[in-house]
Structure 1
Amino acid sequence: MTIDNHTTRAEAIQREIIEPIEAAGPDVARAEDYDIEAIADAVLDTDERGRWHLAVDSDEFWRVVERHQRR
């Protein structure tokens, strides 16, 4: 797994959570349909330099996303 590091939590949320959710287009999924903050709490972490990254594999990421879908 390649780790992409981001300077801010907001940048990591945009790149690592929102962009993948919305990658298939707004008619398939929109970030507003999910509790993005809860997803971020579950899947993001910081390294020893304080840079943010996705701390779970792809399968776990999508399980977390599914758990935090707003109904």
Structure 2
Amino acid sequence: MDYDTYTTRGEAIERTIITPIEASEAVKDARAEYDIDAIADNIIGYDPDTQIYWQVCDEAEFWTIVEERAL
């Protein structure tokens, strides 16, 4: 699988977690409704050699992880 890469964890969180959740229009503030750090710990990978972050799961896994971490 090919995924976009990010230079910071914050950028990866914003683009791979916050944006998709809020794009659903069912949620206006993802940070208020989900444990974003817990989601990030499960879906964002980091390579210390290249210093890049990326999403390590597919879309179905992503939404399962998100649902499991609702506040």
The answer to whether TM tops 0.5 is yes
- The 5 A counterparts of 1:29-40 are 29=27, 30-31=29-30, 32-40=32-40
The CA distance in 1 between the partners of 2:21 and 2:58, in whole Å, is 15
Counterpart amino acid of 1:11?
A: E
Counterpart amino acid of 1:57?
A: D
The CA distance in 2 between the partners of 1:9 and 1:63, in whole Å, is 21
Count of aligned pairs: 68
Could you list the runs of 5+ residues in structure 1 that have no partner in the other structure?
A: none
Counterpart amino acid of 1:10?
A: G
Counterpart amino acid of 2:64?
A: R
Could you list the runs of 5+ residues in structure 2 that have no partner in the other structure?
A: none
The CA distance in 1 between the partners of 2:45 and 2:24, in whole Å, is 25
Larger proportion of strand? 2
Aligned to 2:70: 69
Q: TM-score, with normalisation over the residues of structure 1? A: 0.88
Counterpart amino acid of 1:21?
A: I
Q: Deviations over 1:4-60 (max 9, x none)?
A: 0000000000000000000022xx113110000000000000234120000011111
The CA distance in 2 between the partners of 1:50 and 1:61, in whole Å, is 22
